[in-house]
Chain A
Amino acid sequence: MNQTPINLLEIRDLRKSFSIGGSLFAKPLTLTVLENINFTIRNGETLGIVGESGCGKSTLGRCILQLLSPDEGQVLWLGQDLTRLPAEEMRLRRADLQIIFQDPLASLNPRMTVGEIIADPLRSLKPDLSKKERSARALKIMEAVGLLPEMINRYPHEFSGGQAQRIGIARALITEPKLIVCDEPVSALDVSIQAQILNLLAELKDEFGLTLIFISHNLSVVRHVSDRILVLYLGRIVELADGDEIYNDPKHPYTKALLTAVPIPDPKLARLRDIDALKGEIPSPINPPSGCTFRTRCRFAQPYCAEKRPRLETIEDGWLVACHRWREIEMPAEVVSKA
């Protein structure tokens, strides 16, 4: 593992659009979900991806895993472009790249036992293993994620949401992946269970040397787990930086607005806070605003923001921001960060 280069994954100029509607008499509309996506994922880090619904965060996760094919761009896995990989090679490569889904019960086959579900990826990816060996590995992984061995012959409906999510995690881990995309893995869970699963993911990450992409709309959760945070707005990267730095000193007005909107579980701080709530809602991606797509909700917007799309520029080592005015605008320090 020491030989693994720093960048596990490199995304270059990724673009994904869907065509919607369209009939005999109507032209289909093009919905551009992701555009001009460039970033790298470092080996061993947790990268959080945040944004409002419809910003393209789940689509990005799926494009990385080739569950969706991007229209343009490259997804370089250790230098190898996954988008050009023949299907069979990609299938084998999937041992390295796994995913955990939001709805834990819906992502498990109700007709398979827990043992079968967890060992299933091995049947496809490690066909040489005997049945006995597969079940031995399943048991080992079950222990690692906190499931009891006697659960191996039960069916998904016998489990609660939190346990079902552990099964989903076990299934992802059994192929010994390097990268796991966690798509809203705790959003459907109760608070106490959510915390248990977050702790479990952190432990597993250390134990198995995983790299995680953590997609969530819950910024408190993302901040808790992530080393770096990528903020998406209408399918474009608006900011990418170290989690602590972006929290203490966000450069993009959208990042700032998102962070201040997060409720804090502390009544005194919550009362002190002057929430500068973003006006309105995310515009339709079918007909996005010209220039900077955030300008319609940005209180720092100037006429020229409508004309030119801001470039994603590197402002410091590894800190990217896409805003015409990031240098000039003074965003008042957040009251919380002083607490």
Chain B
Amino acid sequence: MAPVLTVKDLTVRFALHQSEVVAVNNLNFALEAGDTLAVVGESGSGKSQAFLALMGLMAKNSTVTGQALLGDVDLLNLSKSALNQYRGRDVAMIFQDPMTSLNPTLRLKQQLGEVLVRHKRQDKREAERNAIAMLERVGIPEPAKRANAYPHELSGGMRQRVMIAMALLCQPKILIADEPTTALDVTVQAQMLDLFKSLREDFGTSLVLITHDLGVVAGVADRMMVMYGGRAVEKGSVDDLFYDPRHPYTLGLLHSTPHIAKRAARLDPIQGMPPSLEHLPKGCAFNPRCALSFDRCLAERPPLTEAGEGREKACFYEGPIAYGKVA
């Protein structure tokens, strides 16, 4: 099956006062229909910027180059009005903080209905009816009553459900979720992740899950892309990357994550901290934090190359990377 989204050489630059920062550098990936892709990384890895760029949600001082092919349409090469045809209809995005993403002055039925009026040319009454049906689908109790509420009247979990409902109204091919559960309690998070899974089954939506939480990734995603310093450093199936990581950064992230079922005396974290994009280390951006780095890593940047079936890594080290070897 052809991928629903193919991103080629995506690069996002920001012009600063006297310099330039490359937030996303030469990113390539494909999203298969019905798949869930997890994009994992720490602050400044470029994981959010890459997808904000796809949605045309960029700051004024940015330049975006590359291609993002949705079918044969390049999202990065569209005028704003042409992009508006696709945003919300074919590709929808939800964010970490649902309160700041909803319009505080509109009732839910108004802000949800607007999407359908605009994209599906439904009349207002029909749009509101469909909005209420979608609120029910995402698990909002008494949807007809809640549709009259304003965002501030809802709890955080309910607001995130409203965001998801809004994103799904046009049954988009792709739903991009940027840290959708980070602000939620575990119990509500579990409800949300369940919801994502069932939505994928019901609507066949492809999901991009941007997160730093490997626990969330393990439960929901099929494939995974690890980003560091604006670049993809490892890509592959979730099982491959969790059970047999080939990039020391992926392994380091796994060892930094506490596991509720396995209590270890000490975690084995990556030393140091994520690099500033303004001063990326020479060679491999991860080399100052990597216990396996050698001469070549300091001089040359490892390209993303095939590392077994359906997986890629950007690392020169070829030996086995094992517990305790990293960090």
Contacts and interface: CB of A to CB of B under 8 A. Distances in A.
A280 to B, nearest CB: 8
Interface stretch (B259-267, B301-309, B311-319): B259-267
Contact of B215 (A163, A265, A337): A265
Contacts of B190: 260-261, 263, 275, 277-278
A235 to B, nearest CB: 15
Nearest to A223: B260
12 contacts: A192-B252, A192-B273, A193-B273, A224-B263, A258-B187, A262-B260, A263-B189, A264-B261, A265-B254, A275-B194, A278-B187, A336-B261
Nearest to A202: B266
B273 A263 contact: no
A109 interface: no
B43 A190 contact: yes
Nearest to A161: B43
Name the interface size band of chain A. 35 or more
B99 interface: no
Contacts of B175: none
Instruction: List 3 A-B pairs, minimum CB-CB distance, nearest first.
Output: A263-B215, A195-B269, A195-B256
Contact of A199 (B156, B191, B269, B274): B269
Contacts of B269: 192-196, 199
B239 interface: yes
A196 B187 contact: no
A101 B279 CA distance: 30
The CB with the most chain B CB atoms within 10 A, among A160, A192, A269, A337, is that of A192
A216 to B, nearest CB: 11
Nearest to B183: A53
Contacts, number: 149
A89 interface: no
Interface in B26-74: 42-43
A332 interface: no
Given A192-B42, A195-B269, A269 B261 contact: yes
B216 interface: yes
Counting chain A CB atoms within 10 Å of each CB, which of B189, B257, B260 scores highest? B260
Interface in A275-289: 275, 277-278, 280-282
Interface string A243-266: 110010000000001111111111
A287 to B, nearest CB: 15
Contacts of B187: 52, 257-258, 261, 277-278, 281
A258 B256 contact: no
Contacts of B217: 265
Contacts of B150: none
A224 B259 CA distance: 8
A208 B200 CA distance: 51
Given A221-B258, A244-B263, A336-B261, A262 B274 contact: no
Contacts of B218: 263-267, 269-270
Contacts of A147: none
Contacts of B213: 191, 263
A268 to B, nearest CB: 7
Given A258-B187, A261-B187, A265-B218, A191 B256 contact: yes
Contacts of B238: 267
Contacts of B214: 191, 265
B242 interface: yes
A57 B43 CA distance: 28
Given A195-B257, A223-B258, 6 more contacts: A243-B263, A262-B215, A264-B215, A277-B187, A278-B190, A281-B157
Contacts of A163: 273
B133 to A, nearest CB: 21
B212 interface: yes
A212 interface: no
Interface string A15-28: 00000000000000
Nearest to A335: B261
Nearest to A271: B219
A336 B212 contact: no
Contacts of A263: 186, 189-190, 193, 213, 215-216, 218-219
A319 to B, nearest CB: 18
A191 B194 contact: no
B186 A217 contact: yes
A316 to B, nearest CB: 20
A274 B158 CA distance: 23
A80 interface: no
A162 interface: yes
Interface in A194-234: 194-196, 198-199, 202, 217-221, 223-224
A258 B267 CA distance: 23
